Amino acid sequence: MRDKFIEIQKAKLLHGQIGRRQFVMSVLAAGVALPAALGFADKANAAMPKSGGLFRMGIAHGSTTDTLDSGTSENHFTLINGYTFGNHLTEVGSDGQLTGELAESYESADAQKWVFNLRQGVEFHNGKTMTSEDVVASFNHHMGEDSTSAAKGLLTAVTSVEADGKNRVIFNLASPNADFPFIVSDYHISIRPAGDMTSGVGTGGYVLQSFEPGVKSVLKRNPNYWKEGKAHFDEVELLSIIDPTARQTALMNGDIDSMDRVDLKTINLFKRNPNINIMEATGTAHYTFPMRLSVAPFDNYDLRMALKHSIKRQELVDKVLLGYGAVGNDHPISTANAFHNSDMPQREFDADKAAFHYKKSGHSGAIPLSASDAAFSGAVDAAQLIANSASEAGIEIEVIREPRDGYWSNVWNNDAKGWCACYWGGRPTEDWMFSAAYTNDTKWNDTAWVGTDSSKKFNALVIEARAELDTTKRRELYYECQNLVSDDGGSIIPLFNSYVSANSKAIAHNEIAANWDSDGAKCVERWWFA
């Protein structure tokens, strides 16, 4: 029995279903000697990639409004596409650790002045050598007064970005930020040639051949890619296949080699296919139902609290995620984050509290909730479950099924729709997550949480925590931030979802990252055909 168990664990490691650490721990528990466990794990993780082939991926996102300007990237299709042809100053590796990408190194003596030393000899796809001029121009694209980039809020603390010779860039911040090297890895801040931020010319492992928004992106391997041991496929086709059944059918028929967001309702049937590997990774991803405080009746604190108490969170985990996730507490910081507030009581379904706050709000009539499976697989079902549980507290919710195409431009983050379904991939640090979606200076504050006393206090705390170098004090500040978001904020966050994807068994890879779906959204660069 033990030998059979070990063989199963070996197979999982070789196919990327578990990582090296999980493999070692499992076989140690089975009584295998540590050197033997480490030896096999190292051999598996050191598997030699092969070059060649056409890699086709079905992605659950994509919109006719998508562009090649990384500042407009707002869904997983544009995220993967951008990482495929572009690079950033830093990146989060498969192990969750930050490393230099186009920046060979970076340093700061006070966390307020940051120096990034660039890799030399890196070429853009148009043949131009990357220099500090391109980095400065790329950041100014996102920081300018008239910029519409979603990264603008992340960079408000940057007072200047300057070239110091051809291979060095200096950032001066208004206040210290110990997490700044993480910030510059944000997928929006792709380094492009000065004067060309929108054509898709980058320094990445693949060169863009064609791009049809909402349909597909076609790329070929960059013969001059500066990263050794990366970008193994000859050609790549990224296909927007929003319907989960269509993605699944395409994979089973061999029309694609990989897909994200497996439909959990049919996952057990999917697992029976001998030619497919199911992969699960846990991290900071979460599903949300943001209420915009700029739209009545969600500007009413008691109505927001009524809705937060009217949700059966575990039911959503069980029925929507089928156990592939965990309950949320109406703030975006997961147990994978360093400063998750584990002291906060978990909010539970409470019909009496919901009814109390609803009566106090003075509202009557149906409350519209917009949802589409473009937000996440099962979003419409989740909205209906929320409506059902709210009815037990005397609250009527009208679920509006929205079209999939254009959802992110017509519904989400739009005052025309005060309450909707959404997903967030999460961020590796608390400051990054809060700055991306909750501070008053970010374009993606999808709850429009900017006018209350609590939001003002929250913004001040984020700034204070950002500069705080004492870990204990920083934890206290982030704990309070989470309390404020959960209590006064407009986000209902009932679910932290696992990333569940599927590949043809022809695909090989090493340990899977969990900072984004699809191996940190860098599957095209990291995977190969076995």
Q: What is the pLDDT of residues 254-298, one digit of tens each?
A: 999 999 999 888 898 899 999 999 998 888 999 999 999 999 999
Q: Is the dihedral of CA 175, 181, 186, 189 positive or negative?
A: positive
- Enumerate the β-bridge partners of residue 160: 172
| pLDDT at residue 20 is higher than 80 | no
Q: What is the pLDDT of residue 449?
A: 97
Q: Are 526 and 47 in contact (CB under 8 A)?
A: no
Query: Looking at residue 46, what is its pLDDT?
Result: 45
CA-CA distance, 15 to 506, in Å (whole number)? 10
How far apart are alpha carbons 440 and 448 in whole angstroms? 8
Q: Name residue 231's amino acid.
A: A
Cα–Cα distance for residue pair 407/190, rounded to 1 Å: 25
| Predicted local confidence at residue 40, as pLDDT | 45
Q: Which residue has the higher pLDDT, 367 or 432?
A: 367
Spelled out in words, what is the top-level CATH class assigned to the domain 204-278+500-529? alpha beta
Q: In this predicted model, what pLDDT tens digit does every residue of 77-128 receive, in sequence order?
A: 999 999 999 999 999 998 888 999 999 999 998 889 999 999 999 999 999 9
At the topology level, CATH places domain 87-183 in: Dipeptide-binding Protein; domain 1 (3.90.76)
Residue 3 has what pLDDT?
A: 55
Which residue intervals of the chain bear CATH 3.10.105.10? 286-497
State the pLDDT at residue 94: 87
Where in the chain are all domains bearing CATH 3.40.190.10?
Answer: 204-278+500-529
Task: Look at residue 160 and tell me whether its pLDDT is greater than 70.
Answer: yes
Q: Is residue 36 over pLDDT 90?
A: no
Max CA separation in the chain (angstroms): 67
**DSSP of 166-216:** TTEEEEEESS--TTHHHHTT-TT-----TT-SSS---SSSEEEEEEETTTE
pLDDT at position 467 = 85
In which band, very low, low, confident or very high, does the pLDDT at 399 lie, cut at 50, 70 and 90?
very high
Q: 26 or 448, which is more confident? A: 448
Amino acid at 4: K
pLDDT band for position 430 (cuts 50, 70, 90): very high
Relative orientation angle of helices 453-467 and 471-488, to the nearest 10 degrees: 160
Comparing CA positions, the residue from 476, 443, 471 lying closest to residue 461 is: 476
Residue ranges of the chain that CATH labels 3.90.76.10: 87-183
Q: Which of 346, 322, 326, 323 is nearest to 334 (CA)?
A: 326
Per-residue pLDDT tens over the stretch 317-364? 999 999 999 999 999 999 888 899 999 999 999 999 999 999 999 999
- pLDDT for the residue 33: 46
Task: For residue 69, give every residue at least 6 positions away whose Cβ sits within 8 Å of its Cβ, in sequence order, or none.
Answer: 149, 197, 198
Q: What is the pLDDT of residue 377?
A: 86
Q: Mean of the pLDDT values across residues 512-518?
A: 88
The encoded tokens of residue 47 equal: 């598997």
* Spatial separation of the C-alpha atoms in residues 458 and 481, rounded to whole Å: 6
Cis peptide leading into residue 297 (ω within 30°): yes
For 39-52, how does the pLDDT look when each residue is reduced to its tens digit (9 = 90+)? 444 444 446 899 99
E-strand ranges in 406-445 read: 422-424
Confidence at 35, pLDDT banded by 50, 70, 90: very low
- Model confidence pLDDT, tens digit, residues 187-200: 999 999 999 999 99
The C-alpha atoms of residue 169 and residue 132 are separated, in whole angstroms, by: 6
Contact (Cβ atoms closer than 8 angstroms) between residue 453 and residue 504: no
How confident is the model at residue 299, as a pLDDT? Answer: 98
Rounded mean pLDDT of 415-444?
93
Q: What is the average pLDDT value for the chain, to the nearest integer?
A: 91
Q: Where do the H-state alpha helices sit in 238-323?
A: 244-252, 267-271, 301-309, 313-319
Angle at which helix 430-437 crosses helix 453-467, to 10 degrees, equals 140
**What average pLDDT does the segment 303-329 reach?**
96
CATH class of 286-497: alpha beta
Mean pLDDT within 213-219: 98
| Global pTM value | 0.71
Nearest residue to 489 via CA among 527, 438, 413: 438
User: Residue 27: which of 47, 12, 16, 46 has the closest Cα?
Assistant: 12
Residue 7 pLDDT exceeds 80: no
CA distance 309 to 357: 9
Q: Is the pLDDT of residue 384 over 80?
A: yes
Q: Is the pLDDT score of 499 beyond 50?
A: yes
Given the DSSP bridges, would you call strands 158-163 and 206-212 parallel, antiparallel or unpaired? unpaired
